[in-house]
Chain A
């Protein structure tokens, strides 16, 4: 029975890891909603939510309970299957990204070497792009299935925005790939961790800037939150949604934000690397725990910057959005890619 010689321990190990990472992402996303309200409040000289529990720490649970207890409305003219599929797809696509992110090096438990990454596939970053593109279907299907012209228009707006910015994002990424020569996120992090090697942001500052702006647009964050535009266009593509289905849409935005922060940290800021410290001098388990802490710190900083920008800059007009995407970011990304390529060729030739 060699055909069935599955490494059961590996399977169990991965299942546990998946459970931990998914629930941890959801937990962090829960508190990101709280952090968003707190950050907004503090930047606007308010105290923010502070009534539920000490410092308002139970507020996300109160919000969640409220959403669950609300009446669930499916419009009579909506396509019921797609209407339910939309938020599910948005959430699934948001969560699937976490599979390829290297959360830390490895831990040694029960004589086993456990990698703290669900799957180290050699096309990691391509997988991320594929899954992120699937997220557009969540928006499109939600808007289409609502059978409401405003939802449909908002969904179209959202989809065209996501597609436009994915292009510049991909091109800015090619420059990073030229430097690392690998698509696997783990390899890229390991390269940045090597002694004497700087983080990729030092080699690709322009690439990082483009990637960051595009990530913000992909997450539908202000100043790019045209699909939602909650104060002007009463909520955009999820206008017809209520109860926890709406919660899923709102929540997937926060999960997306965490995942894009994690990817930016891995691609440009050394992933779980702790600056000025050689991790190989530490015991592997301690290094792994410190690595997780370092990556989480980087993610928290990115999320704060996302929020900081949201509460500073007003929303773009639609033509400005398209101009920035097509006429500025894509040429800049192409320029960045060409310069990087020329530089690498020059280094090799010389």
Chain B
């Protein structure tokens, strides 16, 4: 009969020779293999001290971007929430009042913007859906938390610090300086 694939291997049913029956040579061989592993390099990454580089296209925690003047870009259009397959995003819109032009870029802004990081699947569809370039997936990831509530990230956690007044916080939120596989 013709085999479907040519990958089948015939099993040897020969009775064992005396040397094989003794087992001891086979055991010695196995022990040499395990012994050789003493000198092998360990692939372990000791996490908090050592970090594994991310890929340059890594999709991590979300940030809400600001424009060049430090104003929030988000206009609370809701397209990200519609695009989200995990329904992790909720928001409430509010109208910009006179005198707040230095805070919000458009006339409408998100008064409340929440992402449930336990629901989020980090697919990046919100980033693609956003017409204002406001939501962006950084190269950081969500730290552990004791409660489920702690994983619902509000605007205070998501809004990126102003690059001018707080450059360090800005770099940290974007994940700039984290090792990537690109370099």
Q: Contact residues of A with B, CB < 8 Å?
A: 42-47, 50, 308-309, 311-313
B27 in the interface, Cβ–Cβ < 8 Å? Answer: yes
Determine whether the beta carbon of B43 is less than 8 Å from that of A312: no
Determine whether the beta carbon of B30 is less than 8 Å from that of A45: no
Asked, given contacts A46-B44, A47-B44, A47-B46, whether A313 binds B30 with beta carbons under 8 Å apart, the answer is yes
In the bound complex, residues from chain B placing their C-beta under 8 Å from that of A309 are 27, 31
One of B34-42, B85-93, B111-119, B160-168 at the interface = B34-42
Chain A at the B interface: SS class = loop
A293 nearest CB across to chain B (Å): 24
What per-residue 1/0 map shows which CB atoms of B27-70 lie under 8 Å from chain A?
10011011101101111101000000000000000000000000
A312 contact from B30, B40, B46, Cβ within 8 A: B30
Cα–Cα, bound, A33→B33 (Å) = 23
Determine whether the beta carbon of B42 is less than 8 Å from that of A312: no
B38 contact from A42, A50, A312, A313, Cβ within 8 A: A42
In the bound complex, residues from chain B placing their C-beta under 8 Å from that of A308 are 31, 34-35
16 contacts between A and B (CB under 8 A): A42-B37, A42-B38, A43-B35, A43-B38, A44-B37, A45-B37, A45-B40, A45-B42, A46-B42, A46-B44, A47-B46, A308-B34, A311-B34, A312-B27, A312-B30, A312-B33
In the bound complex, residues from chain B placing their C-beta under 8 Å from that of A45 are 37, 40-44
Determine whether the beta carbon of B27 is less than 8 Å from that of A313: yes
A309, closest chain B residue (CB) = B31
Cα–Cα, bound, A42→B37 (Å) = 7
Cα–Cα, bound, A308→B44 (Å) = 21
In the bound complex, residues from chain B placing their C-beta under 8 Å from that of A312 are 27, 30-31, 33-34
In the bound complex, residues from chain A placing their C-beta under 8 Å from that of B44 are 45-47
B71 nearest CB across to chain A (Å): 46
Determine whether the beta carbon of B27 is less than 8 Å from that of A43: no
B36 nearest CB across to chain A (Å): 10
In the bound complex, residues from chain A placing their C-beta under 8 Å from that of B27 are 309, 312-313
Cα–Cα, bound, A308→B28 (Å) = 11
Determine whether the beta carbon of B43 is less than 8 Å from that of A43: no
Cα–Cα, bound, A309→B32 (Å) = 10
Determine whether the beta carbon of B42 is less than 8 Å from that of A47: yes
Cα–Cα, bound, A43→B34 (Å) = 6
A40 nearest CB across to chain B (Å): 10
Cα–Cα, bound, A45→B30 (Å) = 16
A317 nearest CB across to chain B (Å): 13
B42, closest chain A residue (CB) = A45
B26, closest chain A residue (CB) = A313
B130 nearest CB across to chain A (Å): 42
B50 nearest CB across to chain A (Å): 11
A41, closest chain B residue (CB) = B42
Cα–Cα, bound, A45→B35 (Å) = 11
In the bound complex, residues from chain B placing their C-beta under 8 Å from that of A50 are 46
In the bound complex, residues from chain A placing their C-beta under 8 Å from that of B38 are 42-43
Cα–Cα, bound, A43→B33 (Å) = 9
What per-residue 1/0 map shows which CB atoms of B75-106 lie under 8 Å from chain A?
00000000000000000000000000000000
Cα–Cα, bound, A309→B27 (Å) = 9
- Which of A46, A50, A313 has the most C-beta atoms of chain B within 10 angstroms of its own C-beta? A313
